[in-house]
Structure 1
């Protein structure tokens, strides 16, 4: 009799666990669909891709960027890509923009970036802006940058705002590029919105894709440029 009670208790526990698990799965599916519905889907037209070139990786992308230029990297983290930009492009003026200060993007990374670029900071060829990306845009005059590279939270809303705010800060013929041109991070189940924000911006403001990278093991990058009126 005692054994039967124990078996029944185990069955009840398993049934309860399954019910809870089913509810969690259903809730997550609803949240994903809600998020999906919040991200607009705007279709590109032929003029937005006719000059687009595929590149193997973002190392090649840097090879296409103007040397001795005025550059911003928006979203620096620990500065590994910043170092690559500095070595390959040799910017005349290099602005590094990031909030830092969170658990993942902590001040230890901020200090590491400062230490690496200590000499350039002293020479005023590198400047660090510890500020939110959308606020940082107001610190620069119009038509200031030759090109920028965006790598922040990858959400539709943030990317949309960054593109709109930094576009006037880029010189005519200049480039706005960025990372994580993909649907999301499937390990963390985080839905990106970079693709949708870029496409919407190109259609609404008459810009075109000029470069896309095709890394199989890393998030892809994009580069866009204002379509020149004839």
Structure 2
């Protein structure tokens, strides 16, 4: 224990500064090393003001899957805007009352579990047999979906390179040849939670290996961008 070091840390935190551990810096640097995209995979890309605007540009109907659903707000946007004939929401549903993310207290206020709260958000669509909910690890739940059956996939689960790459290995078999994949949090670092992200590294690797082009780059006021992809057609 070093009282001087602890005192300096306290002063920095009170001043609004944060000390990052060496391993976090290392992980951010490792995630920043990825292959640049060739021009033909970005030449048709357009910029959207946010991820919701991108949904308005997508084909309607079909099968939509959201991996990592949070409280269900974006699930409702997908259902209302894309209007899929079938929607599947996948999550481990691990939010706990008293430990909710982003300063939320929805579970505390409603006395619901995470899964119960999400289902209530989508109750109208569940009752109409449009929405289905799967609880479990993303790549395991994705395996249950028939190959080449998904028209639109939204990916917003764990953001480490390893997890996203593992999801992609399954997703590329589930998406239709004409299907669209949208990846959330296309950034290297979460400045709020102080976590390194590996989404760009995994996405670039996928785009190059499988020849997927970027359709849209969706802006976000804090830099948590989305990218929307589709199989490149020469």
Q: Normalising by the residue count of structure 2, what TM-score does the alignment of the two structures yield?
A: 0.82
Matched positions, count:
214
Find out whether 1:199 has 2:185 as its counterpart: no
Contact 2:87 2:131 (C-alpha < 8 Å) held by counterparts: yes
> Secondary structure at 1:64's aligned position in 2?
coil
The answer for the alignment partner of 1:159 in structure 2 is: 164
CA distance in 2, matches of 1:127, 1:218: 31
CA distance in 1, matches of 2:223, 2:72: 17
- What is the Cα deviation at residue 69 of structure 1? 2.0
Contact 2:156 2:185 (C-alpha < 8 Å) held by counterparts: yes
Contact 1:98 1:131 (C-alpha < 8 Å) held by counterparts: yes
Moved more, 75-84 or 155-164: 155-164
- What is the Cα deviation at residue 22 of structure 1? 7.7
- What is the Cα deviation at residue 21 of structure 1? 6.7
Unaligned runs of 5+ in 1: 1-12
Q: Which has the larger radius of gyration?
A: 1
CA distance in 1, matches of 2:219, 2:30: 27
C-alpha deviations, 1:171-210, integer Å up to 9, x for none?
1121110211112111321111111111111112211111
Contact 1:72 1:96 (C-alpha < 8 Å) held by counterparts: yes
- What is the Cα deviation at residue 38 of structure 1? 4.2
Find out whether 1:17 has 2:3 as its counterpart: yes
Structure that is richer in helix per residue: 1
- What is the Cα deviation at residue 28 of structure 1? 4.1
- What is the Cα deviation at residue 43 of structure 1? 1.4
> Aligned ranges for residues 80-119 of structure 1 at < 5 Å?
80-103=73-96, 104=100, 108-119=113-124
CA distance in 1, matches of 2:187, 2:30: 17
CA distance in 2, matches of 1:213, 1:122: 32
C-alpha deviations, 1:17-51, integer Å up to 9, x for none?
3345789x9x9442123313543422111112111
Q: CA RMSD in A?
A: 2.5
Contact 1:77 1:110 (C-alpha < 8 Å) held by counterparts: no
C-alpha deviations, 1:27-79, integer Å up to 9, x for none?
94421233135434221111121111111111111111221121001101110
Contact 2:187 2:223 (C-alpha < 8 Å) held by counterparts: no
Contact 2:28 2:189 (C-alpha < 8 Å) held by counterparts: no
C-alpha deviations, 1:78-99, integer Å up to 9, x for none?
1011111111111100001001
Find out whether 1:50 has 2:43 as its counterpart: yes
The answer for the alignment partner of 2:34 in structure 1 is: 41
The answer for the alignment partner of 1:65 in structure 2 is: 58
